[in-house]
Structure 1
Amino acid sequence: MTPIFHLALLHDWEDAQRTGAYTVSTRGRTLAEEGFIHASRADQWTGVRDRFYADVAEPMVLLQIDPALLDVPVIDEEPFPGATETFPHIYGPLPVTAVVKTIPLDQRVAVEAPAGRTPSPAAPAAPVRPDVPQESFTRAYFREVFFNVAVVSIVLLVGTSGMALGATLPGDAGPAVGGLLGLVLGILLAVRVYRYRHPRPER
């Protein structure tokens, strides 16, 4: 079975070895708080590390997990609505016996990706300002949810405004025409906002 991976602080992993189970969900969040343990595939963990752990100074390890050795569900889910990829989530404690390999990350050891997939490059971590708090995974998740809700609200607001304006036109078709035009304008505006928020990467 294809392995999955989890980024762990060394002291958290050492605690798990003493108790027999690992119960940290992600940086600053426990399994009890999050409801599951965040994990990644081989081509995903470097991106997660660079985004959420770039400023971590203490030792870290990469846990290589064999899903076949888990006695809890592993579900591939979107980290937030509209995401373009899914991540494996472990819905329960991670027994240390399911961790088949630990890799110290101070050497930035590369992990081979599954056939047909390209691993993310292990690029040097971006410099981090010490006076700026780093965004947690949960905070990023809810920020993305609120953004998507705002985009949908724009479409509904413009569409409703179009119907109201259409009601002032002569004929029974006025509200329908106004609503349709408002909906089209709302979608176009939402697309512009979404593209501004999620610019396409340069090739």
Structure 2
Amino acid sequence: MTQQPPERIFHIATAAEWRTALDTGTYTTSTVGRSLAEEGFIHASRRDQVQGVFDRYYRSLREDLVLLTIDPARLTSEVRVDPVGDDTYPHVYGPIEPRAVLEAVPLSRSGQPETVMSLWLKGMAVRMGIALLVMAIASVVVLLLL
């Protein structure tokens, strides 16, 4: 009996590869360092599997990553749920068209989805750090000139 794919499947992509897919109209990266042509399918996961996949394969990457939320019903490629070890994972047997991707959310270095608020706070923290550094340098320069 063939298991039906979940209503939504997920795939971790580098931001650069996702931008290329938006330009070309197809996404063909199977997993880190492997293409659809090399692997025969694109690795995907259920939502509950995303963190484990990130920890095993993506944690050491220093590239910006995005989590793609994919609607299998919008794909022209077949999606199969295949056994992998003691679990099953969805695999996409063909390219992923950007129209099938409902959401592409940036991932933090710990593999957690970034929200607009968390991105804003990070940016604000960087700007505050720079402002404090400039004020400290200015203070030292003023003291040296006195």
For structure 2, the 5+ residue unaligned runs are 1-5, 115-146
Structure 1 spans left out of the alignment, 5+ residues: 111-203
| Partner residue of 1:55 out of 38, 60, 63 | 60
Distance 1:11 1:101 in 2: 16
Aligned length: 107
Q: TM-score, normalised by structure 1?
A: 0.51
2:141 maps to what in 1?
none
Letter in 2 for 1:60: L
- Which residue in the other structure is 1:176 paired with? none
Q: 2:51 aligns to what?
A: 46
Matched residue of 2:20: which SS?
Answer: helix
Structure 1 residue 84: deviation in Å? 1.1
User: Aligned partners of 1:78 and 1:52: how far apart in 2?
Assistant: 19
* Aligned equivalents of 1:91, 1:48: Cα separation in 2: 19
1:109 counterpart = 2:113:
yes
- Aligned-residue sequence identity (percent) comes to 49
1:103 Cα deviation from its structure 2 partner: 0.9
Q: Which residue in 1 is equivalent to 2:79?
A: 74
CA distance in 1 between counterparts of 2:28 and 2:66 reads 15
Q: Which residue matches 2:30?
A: 25
- Secondary structure at 1:78's aligned position in 2? strand
Structure-1 separation of matches of 2:63 and 2:34: 17
Shift of the alpha carbon at 1:61?
0.1
Q: How does 1:128-147 map to 2 (within 5 A)?
A: none
4+ long deviations beyond 2 Å: none
Tell which structure's C-alpha radius of gyration is larger.
1
Shift of 1:109: 2.2
Alignment of 1:1-203 (within 5 A): 2-79=7-84, 83-106=85-108, 108-109=112-113
Amino acid at match of 2:73: A
Q: Which residue of 2 aligns with 1:199?
A: none
TM-score norm. by structure 2 comes to 0.70
Task: Tell me the CA shift for residue 72 of structure 1.
Answer: 1.3
3-state DSSP of counterpart to 1:94: coil
C-alpha displacement at 1:37, in angstroms? 0.2
SS in 2 for 1:56: coil
